[in-house]
Structure 1
Amino acid sequence: MALRSAAAAPRGLRRLFSSVSTFGFPPSPAAAPGREQAEPSTNLFVSGLSKRTTTEKLHEAFSQFGEVVQARVVTDRVSGFSKGFGFVKYANLEDAAKGIEGMDGKFLDGWVIFAEYARPRLPPVQTENNNMPPPYGRQ
């Protein structure tokens, strides 16, 4: 029983078992076409947090890169567990840049986290015609 050479193997199997992968990595968030970069600020948005991550752990992890003014893990009102993201505020822009460089793509509590400059919150949409009576005292 003779073994077939790789050239004689069916094309699909050659592609499947080849050492050169045809699969690429997804584009980084910075290279995504629909997502613009936020302006540099002292406030950082941190995503990918574990449910076990506390505000104290977040503060401790980011304080190695500069003076952290405030750190906050956003938690669920009912369960009290982390929603998977938080914010870190540094004293100056240089420390914020070091924090992003030092913690973006690193592990915290066993999860890979991502740090970027926080975007400003958009104002809520105000509509007058929402089929609700006017608030008390307004005509």
Structure 2
Amino acid sequence: MANAEEAVDFEPEEDDLMDEDVDASSPRAPIPKLKSAITSRGSSASKKTKGRGFREEAAEAERNARLSARFDSLDTDGGPGPERSIEGWIVLVTGVNEEAQEDDIHNEFGEFGEIKNLHLNLDRRTGFVKGYALIEYENFEEAERAINEMDGKELLAQPIHVDWAFSKGPFRRRNARRRPHIYSLLRKKSGGHGFKPWEQLLAEM
């Protein structure tokens, strides 16, 4: 009976516990590996990484194909000149009087053809015209005639300048004269040595 009680009341001593800890932490013992949520799906399954910074190969290929495709563009004849917008030929009018109304612009430019659209931008702070207007004609001839006839004319006692709103590149008007550079003009007037006073140069010009 005493042997049974000794067997039941047996408790491991501290030395025995230390021996077990040493055995568990021994380098010979296998170290347990942590399981990853990404790699634990199986080695046979394809590894897919989703999230910010990663792109699917299919989406990347589709994007490259979309960017390499030919884009639609307006047909151009090439060379400098006026450019047609999607809906018509737009003329830019600058130097417009701040008190001008749409009726004033329409009355002056309506005689050259049908105006499809007229835009007169106003200053929100003052309520007056900002100084320019956009006029849209359907035909090229109408817009060109408006430019030739109205450029330099006065509107409400103020000179205006009319030109194409869009152009393919730098081009000169047929009736425009070449203006010499002011620096070369001053050197020519002064003989190439220094500069004369402004009053004398203006008097000689």
1:55 matches 2:55? no
1:106 maps onto 2:149 in alignment = no
Matched position secondary structure for 2:99: coil
CA 76–38 in structure 1, closer or farther in 2 if over 3 Å, else same = farther
Partner of 2:82: 39
Q: 1:72 aligns with which of 103, 119, 132?
A: 119
Task: Give the deviation of 1:61 after TM superposition.
Answer: 0.7
Query: Structure 2 unaligned runs (5+)?
Result: 1-79, 168-205
Match of 2:164 in 1: 117
What does the per-residue CA deviation read over 1:9-35, in whole Å, with 9 as the maximum and x for residues that have no partner? xxxxxxxxxxxxxxxxxxxxxxxxxxx
Q: Give, in angstroms, the shift of residue 71 of structure 1.
A: 1.4
From the superposition, tell whether residues 74 and 38 of structure 1 become closer, same or farther in structure 2 (CA, over 3 Å).
farther
Aligned-residue RMSD, C-alpha: 1.6
Work out the CA distance in 1 between the residues paired with 2:164 and 2:81. 6
Taking only the aligned residue pairs, the percentage that are identical comes to 30
Amino acid at match of 1:39: P
Which secondary structure state, in structure 2, belongs to the residue aligned with residue 116 of structure 1? Answer: strand
Matched, 1:84 2:131: yes
- Cα 1:63–1:108 shift into 2, 3 Å: same
Runs of 4+ off more than 6 Å:
none
CA contact (8 A) 1:39 1:119 kept: yes
Give the structure-2-normalised TM-score: 0.39
Q: Give the CA deviation at 1:40.
A: 4.2
Which of 118, 130, 142 is the matching residue for 1:95?
Answer: 142
Q: Is the CA contact (8 Å cut-off) linking 1:46 and 1:86 kept in structure 2?
A: yes
Once the two structures are TM-superposed, the CA of residue 78 in structure 1 deviates from its matched residue by: 1.9
Deviations 1:61-110, CA, capped at 9 Å, x for gaps: 10011111111211101221001111000121110001101111001011
Per the alignment, residue 134 of structure 1 pairs with none
Q: How far off its partner does 1:119 sit?
A: 2.5
Q: Give the Cα–Cα distance (whole angstroms) in 1 for the partners of residues 127 and 134 of structure 2.
A: 17
TM-score (normalizing by structure 1): 0.56
Gaps of 5+ in 1: 1-36, 121-139
Q: Which letter maps to 1:82?
A: V
- Separation (CA, whole Å) in 1 of partners of 2:152 and 2:101: 18
Q: Aligned to 2:125, what secondary structure does the other structure show?
A: coil
Q: Which has the higher strand share?
A: 1
The answer (yes or no) to whether the contact 1:38–1:118 under 8 Å persists in 2 is: no
Higher helix share: 2
What SS does the corresponding residue of 2:97 show, helix, strand or coil?
coil
